[in-house]
Amino acid sequence: MILPSITYVLFLISVIGIFWALESVQARLWLLLVASLVFYASLQVKYLLLMVALLMVTFFIGNAIVAPLDWRTPNARWQVAEQGWNRRRRWLLGLGIGVNVVLLLSFKYAEGLWRLGGWTGPSLWGLRLDDTFTGIIMPLGLSFFVFECIAYLVDVYRGSPAAETFVGFGAYKLFFPKLISGPITRFHPFIDQVEQPKAPGLNGVVEGLWLIAYGAVKKLLLADHIAILVNLSFDNLPRAGTADIALALFAYGLQLYLDFSAYVNIARGSALLLGINLPENFDAPYFTASLVTFWRRWHITLGDWLRNYLYFPLGGSRQGLGRTCLNLMLIMLMAGVWHGNNWGFVIWGAIHGAGLVIHRLMQSLGKAAPWVAGFWGGFPGTVLGWAITQGLVFFSWLFFRLPDPQQFTLALQRLGATSADPQFVQKVYLESLGFSAGQLWLMLGGLFGIMGFTYAFRRGLKLELSWPVKLLLIPPFSLLAWLLAPAETLSYIYFDF
């Protein structure tokens, strides 16, 4: 049941109809929980019990963290009891975070650690362990699931109320539109919207349908077609030239953004039809003039999570410039490690970490030399900042797309002023795609230009499409996505993370 698909549309319509027909909040929560279990089972039933078990562990630990002191404790012993209570809460928080992190790391890194230790050939009861590891697939949505569980436990430890009922917590954690790839949400804003439901109204319905149709176009009409060029190019690296790899990198950057933001559009649209507003996850990140702004507008909820639950606890920017730079680098390295167990992800994180450190140093220099801040704040500095930022971002996608050292090393070698094999041009561009490299550059550049025009229209002129215009665009957008989709719908890129 992939977003978007006919099966998903029918499933969503059924859930929406039953949801608004029910009057009891408890009944609606049970519906969302059951529907989400059905949704996950349709994608990966073998890990359903594992996800439910992790859900239960997090729920019960969260409630244990807020368990009150016994009011009957004598005053003379209250301070001692309070100290023990605080130690117990810290221990429970560590236990809850530890269970989630260990489970996530086990799926992400078990194979890598096994091979790092040189254990590539032994057998256990006749079963080769290396074959067992390579056959393990990480549960869909586990990373986002774990991030939300950790956020919930930390919020409860900091004083937020724990979930009162298991069904309420389960409906939040397994909520099917956001379950696989986010956006990362917090428990209390979500549950408040379900417990105090507001019908979406005409504007809300149109907005929800528009987001679904718009997301379908971005996924089926754009991202999946661009993926054909990207896959063909990187599958034929030994024959590719400098210009070919540059084109593939530019295409991959667009594919990644369109693919991931399409999922979020469909998730947010689906939730709106249920009266639930999920947070935005992207805000024109390719039109930012600094890496700091890029990370405020790319995968917004992940950036918020990293700041609130890693950067600030490490000290943030409160302990001097040196410690701030160290924290920035550590956070981005952690972000890289979270994405996968190959060196390419670490390098990707290090590139972004170094970029954030340089930006922070330039800010510090700007305070001492006002002309520096004046230059970067002016038009030439903004244009140069945009070029540097996006050049760094698109270059770093090389290590994200080709995380294996052999792959990215070959790509870097071919990127260094080499000519393409004539067969690459003939087989990849002309025969497989039916376009020349120049035509592909023109089409992708045009798409990027449309994105820039849309951004300027929305942010510069403070204008948005009205609901009647969106209503008129929903049918043609849906039809285009349906008719012009590739023969095989590709999995979302972030399903792998």
Predicted confidence at residue 68, as pLDDT, reads: 66
Domain range list for the chain = 6-197, 205-496
Is it the case that residue 77 has pLDDT exceeding 80?
Answer: no
Report the mean per-residue pLDDT for the chain. 88
Segment 320-330 shows an average pLDDT of 93
Name the nearest CA neighbour of 385 among 408, 401, 366: 366
* Secondary structure E strands in 159-280: none
Predicted confidence at residue 425, as pLDDT, reads: 87
Q: What does the alpha-carbon distance between residue 471 and residue 206 come to, in Å, rounded to a whole number?
A: 6
Residue 143 in tokens: 């990373």
Predicted confidence at residue 122, as pLDDT, reads: 47
Q: What does the alpha-carbon distance between residue 57 and residue 97 come to, in Å, rounded to a whole number?
A: 10
To the question of pTM greater than 0.75 for the whole model, the response is: yes
pLDDT tens-digit series, residues 139-185: 898 999 999 999 999 999 998 999 999 999 999 999 999 999 989 99
Predicted confidence at residue 79, as pLDDT, reads: 56
Confidence of residue 74 (pLDDT cuts 50, 70, 90): low
pLDDT tens-digit series, residues 368-415: 788 877 888 888 889 999 999 999 999 999 999 999 999 999 999 988
Q: Which residues have C-beta within 8 Å of that of residue 402, sequence separation ≥ 6? A: 234, 344, 408, 411
pLDDT tens-digit series, residues 198-208: 889 899 999 99
Better pLDDT: 80 or 130: 80
Residue 484 in tokens: 């012009």
Q: What is the percentage of the chain residues whose pLDDT exceeds 90? A: 65
pLDDT tens-digit series, residues 456-465: 888 877 778 8
Segment 356-368 shows an average pLDDT of 87
Q: What does the alpha-carbon distance between residue 311 and residue 307 come to, in Å, rounded to a whole number?
A: 5
Q: What is the percentage of the chain residues whose pLDDT exceeds 70? A: 91
First-residue to last-residue Cα distance in the chain: 19
486 secondary structure, DSSP code: -
3-state SS, residue 124: strand
Q: What does the alpha-carbon distance between residue 473 and residue 461 come to, in Å, rounded to a whole number?
A: 21
Predicted confidence at residue 110, as pLDDT, reads: 66
Most confident residue range from 266-270, 362-366, 375-379: 266-270
Q: What does the alpha-carbon distance between residue 390 and residue 283 come to, in Å, rounded to a whole number?
A: 15
Active site amino acids: 339
Nearest 5°: phi and psi at 483?
-80, -35
Is it the case that residue 72 has pLDDT exceeding 70?
Answer: no
CA angle 246–252–255, rounded 5-degree value: 145
Confidence of residue 128 (pLDDT cuts 50, 70, 90): very low
Predicted confidence at residue 134, as pLDDT, reads: 43
